[in-house]
Amino acid sequence: MQTPSTRYALSGQNALVTGGSRSIGRSIALGLARSGANVVVNYKQAADAAARTVAEIQGFGRKGVAIRADVSDPVAVERMLDEAESAVGRLDILVNNAGILRRTPFLEIPLPEWDMILATNLRGCFVVGQAVARRMVKHGIHGRIVNVCSDSAKDAARLLTHYCVAKAGLSMLTKQMALELAEHGINVNEVNPGLIETDMNRKDLQNESFRQFRLSLIPLRRIGAPDDVVGAVLFLASEDARLMTGASVFVDGGATIL
């Protein structure tokens, strides 16, 4: 797929993308770098992928660094932010993107799996969002926080109870953050991708009947790619979105209108 161009100017700004080593996170990290930002790539396990993403960021002439941290662990997050500030400077932009998915019938979800999904997809966004926002307030930075949510925040889906609940919680977290951080000049919004082919669902989409069923629910009859999410994130991270906070932007081919 051809690398998209960008019209957003983020030169001189510093961004953190959680889960930034692969798929949607990687595309967002590269989009921020193309727009002029220095980028911190957070990862938990994919060290090689994170290193490759950082190399591409540096290829745009930006500062880039990969930092391993579990986003649900407050101690690890504070360490990550210390390292990030040492590497690129104080953060202006946070993209809460880290997320995981499991497909399990409601009656069969074990409690550890429930806790794992909510720890990354909801608790992690709270922990990182709060820690970054505290530093923005301390330093007087009128920053931008973008939470990567999902259309699953709005619509129930079979086998995805824990995922949908976590994303619904994240959507309300976005609103609460936006409300309470507005007085500090920090804008908080969310992007809700629909069906995007990523490492998490590629195997599922290889099932032709599943693929066709999902396509039937999308008015544009198109499965998205990670790059399709980038423009919305860049817009919300830019000065063009200065009057937006607490907003939800759906990038889903029209699925939520059905």
Cα separation of the two ends of the chain? 29
Q: What is the pLDDT of residues 17-41, one digit of tens each?
A: 999 999 999 999 999 999 999 999 9
Q: How far is CA 106 from CA 103, 112, 122, 200, in A?
A: 9, 13, 19, 19
Hey, where are the domains in the chain? 14-257
d(CA 77, CA 128): 6
- Judge whether 113 and 162 are in contact, CB under 8 Å: yes
CATH superfamily name and code, 14-257:
NAD(P)-binding Rossmann-like Domain (3.40.50.720)
210-228 per-position pLDDT tens digit: 999 999 999 999 999 999 9
d(CA 149, CA 134): 22
Q: What is the pTM of this model?
A: 0.95
User: What are the pLDDT digits (tens) for 126-161?
Assistant: 999 999 999 999 999 999 999 999 999 999 999 999
Taking residues 189-204, what's their average pLDDT? 93
Give the residue numbers annotated as catalytic, written as ranges: 163
